[in-house]
Amino acid sequence: MTDKQRILLIDNEEGLCRLMEQILLDNGYLARAYTSPLKAMEEFATVAWDLVITDIKMPGMTGLEVLQRVKGQHRELPVIIITAYATVEMSIQALRRGAYDMLTKPFEPQELIYRVKNALQQAQLQEENRELRREIEEKLLFENIIGASGALRSVLDKVGKVAGRDTSVLITGESGTGKELIAQAVHYHSPRKDKKFVAINCGGLPESILESELFGYRKGAFTGASENRQGLLETADGGTLFLDEVGNLPMNVQKTLLRFLQEHEFTRVGETMPTRVEVRVLSATNANLQEAVRQGAFREDLYYRLNVVNLHLPPLRERMEDIPLLSAHFIHLQNIKFGTTIKGFEKDAMQMLCSFPWPGNIRQLKNVIEACMAMEGSDYISLETLGQVIELPHVPLPSAQGSPFPSPDVPFVAALERFERDLLRDLLRKHGGAVDHAAREAGVNMATLYRKIKKYGLKKEEYTP
């Protein structure tokens, strides 16, 4: 294997062709010279070339035809055209067809090497940019949305179906569940992925500022408007606008946004002529918009415009099986950021993570892990360290013989599991095996209760009358 760059030379003047080949070989390149363009094109597909250098006037096939053939098979491969009589028209024609550079005969060896280096460096830079973009896109596609639970997979399945359809999507879920990440996945999996993704938190700005931020304004429209300014809708033209916490939009902004969704145009603050842009609108909320509609705080017509498709993100307590994966991901990121070598959580600490209700969802989990890593002195985060960051559930000690609680020397997590198992048995017995009633009294959803029943090997049939 070699990391030398491969250059294909084509020139029907054999003496010049061999001279260029030797110059390139002497400068550390792997060069192969052909005096027949037809023969060169036969060999072109058999080698991974880094650069093609071709004369423009040759019998059998012109340099422009070679250029067209190369670009048809490898659009990103740089091509340098050599000519003895360069004209402006010829140069424009070659550049329009994708040539990287023009080299006029006669030329010095130093000039040849200079042009070759520039072409190869530019091609390498373009490849690095493409690779960087692929990495960025991968981070925003499904593969890097952490989790393997059925609840999350169901959401991602819907994302894959709606991403390619240019329609409005409302993403709902509690705070900290990753609504913006899902919005980014929709955008970067859509035909608009090469355009901008612009996000705004509708609850983070005062009403007076929010309108001008979204729609822009004209110079002199209000005190402090010293120049014309584009709004975020114009900034996102051709791409996607994400309205986070859309339920906080004031009524006057709701009205303007509704008109835009209907007509694809809006009027800047201080102007009378409308501005037209092409933008896909995604929105998210942790509030009950249907209730806001009933209370008159949110326009019903706007609600239906935004909620063409609904994606509901489950809270973390409904996808507990994803916690080990999320934890490993966040630990990895923090290790990279701070140069630490934390390997994970001790077993009892991980069990506690998977039993904690996580009212702040994934955002809270991430912050807890960051805090634990800042305080932990060993390779694994202990239950003791975790207890300094979050308030762990308290399990009472036995007060009398025959108590359902184990003795104090039983590890804390085992005690907690014993308590949880006995509680589930009591609830199932009380409600005759009816899981929905047991879940309601326990204050958890049915999916969680079924998971616990499976975990402890319980059978609801045993408690059915």
Torsion angles phi and psi, residue 298, rounded to 5: -140, 135
Query: What is the bridge-based pairing of β-strands 169-172 and 101-104?
Result: unpaired
pLDDT at 197: 94
Residue ranges covered by each domain of the chain: 6-133, 142-314, 319-387, 412-463
pLDDT at 199: 93
Concatenate the DSSP letters of all residues of 230-282 into one string. --HHHHTTTSEEEEETGGG--HHHHHHHHHHHHHSEE--BT-SS-EE---EEE
Question: What CATH class has 319-387?
Answer: mainly alpha
Asked if 173 and 286 count as a contact pair (C-beta separation under 8 A), the reply is yes
Torsion angles phi and psi, residue 315, rounded to 5: -70, 165
Give dist(CA 282, CA 163) in Å, integer.
Answer: 11
pLDDT per residue as tens, the chain (465 positions): 346 899 999 999 899 999 999 999 999 999 999 999 999 998 888 888 999 999 988 998 998 999 999 998 888 899 999 988 767 777 778 888 889 888 888 889 999 999 999 999 888 877 776 765 555 554 444 656 888 788 888 898 899 899 999 999 999 999 999 999 999 999 989 999 989 999 999 987 887 788 888 888 777 666 666 677 788 999 999 999 999 999 999 998 999 999 999 998 988 877 778 889 999 999 999 999 999 999 999 999 999 999 999 999 999 999 998 898 899 889 988 999 899 999 889 888 888 999 899 999 999 999 999 999 999 888 899 988 999 999 887 544 334 343 333 333 344 455 556 767 777 888 888 888 888 788 777 766 676 777 778 778 887 777 776
Determine whether domain 412-463 maps to CATH 1.10.1760. no
* Spatial CA neighbour of 181 closest among 60, 329, 61, 342: 329
Question: How crowded is the C-beta side of 354, counted as CA atoms within 13 Å?
Answer: 20
| Topology at the third CATH level for domain 6-133 | Rossmann fold (3.40.50)
Tokens of 277: 């842009």
Tokens of 164: 């390619």
Residue in the structure block whose two tokens are 């996000």: 199
* Spatial CA neighbour of 16 closest among 2, 31, 35: 35
**Share in percent of the chain as helix, strand, coil (round to 5):** 50, 15, 40
Determine whether domain 142-314 maps to CATH 3.40.50.300. yes
Q: Tell me the C-alpha to C-alpha distance, in Å, between residue 246 and each of 80, 163, 426.
A: 53, 20, 43
Same fold, 319-387 and 412-463: no
Asked if 213 and 253 count as a contact pair (C-beta separation under 8 A), the reply is no
Neighbouring C-beta atoms of residue 48, cutoff 10 Å:
8
